[in-house]
């Protein structure tokens, strides 16, 4: 059985072979977690500037929104989970930022690969994104 790390690599290989299913350009950048968080932070700052005139955002707000974004994109939200303030605007800005920058995040790739990769691997990767499983090397 392949290690978890190998499953992620297989997903990226699937993306590289089938890039035309995911993007209109072969020069698409795949965002890892760090890049996704940076894009989210910039998107939140952009929304904050539009609403309050200040291009700043606190790290605690970014982390809170990050957690909600991951659960939302993976369809793992639950009843008592409260959306962060201005979440709809932030998500729209985040998606626009990725599109303008010709980027895809790992979750988008994971969701689009679900028909090409066994479902058990996709579920395991989804749980990892949400922090429910740790990577064992």
**Three-state DSSP string of 29-75:** EEECHHHHHHHHHHHHHHHHHHHHCCCCCCHHHHHHHHHHHHHHHCC
Q: 68 with 83: CB under 8 angstroms?
A: yes
Report the distance separating Cα 137 and Cα 58, nearest Å.
33
SS3 at position 27: coil
Can you give the pTM of this predicted structure?
0.74
Q: What is the pLDDT of residue 137?
A: 39
Count of C-beta atoms within a 10 Å radius of residue 30: 18
The secondary element (H helix, E strand) that includes residue 7 is helix 4-17
Residue 1's pLDDT band, with cuts at 50, 70 and 90, is very low
- Distance of CA 108 to CAs 23, 55, 69, 105, 115, Å? 11, 27, 12, 5, 13
pLDDT in tens, 52-85: 999 989 999 999 999 999 989 888 877 888 999 9
Q: What is the pLDDT of residue 40?
A: 96
Determine the distance from the C-alpha atom of residue 37 to the mean position of all C-alpha atoms in its chain, rounded to a whole number. 8
């Amino acid at each position: 059985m392949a290690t978890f790390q190998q499953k992620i690599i297989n997903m990226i290989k699937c993306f590289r072979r089938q890039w035309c299913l995911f993007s209109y350009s072969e020069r698409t950048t795949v965002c890892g977690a760090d890049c996704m968080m940076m894009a989210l932070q910039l998107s939140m700052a952009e929304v904050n500037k539009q609403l309050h005139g200040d291009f700043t955002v606190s790290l605690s707000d970014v982390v809170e929104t990050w957690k909600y974004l991951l659960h939302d994109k993976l369809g793992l939200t639950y009843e008592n989970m409260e959306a962060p303030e201005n979440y709809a605007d932030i998500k729209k800005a985040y998606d626009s930022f990725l599109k303008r920058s010709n980027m895809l995040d790992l979750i988008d790739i994971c969701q689009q690969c679900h028909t090409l990769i066994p479902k058990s691997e996709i579920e395991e990767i989804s749980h990892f994104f949400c922090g429910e499983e740790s990577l064992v090397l």
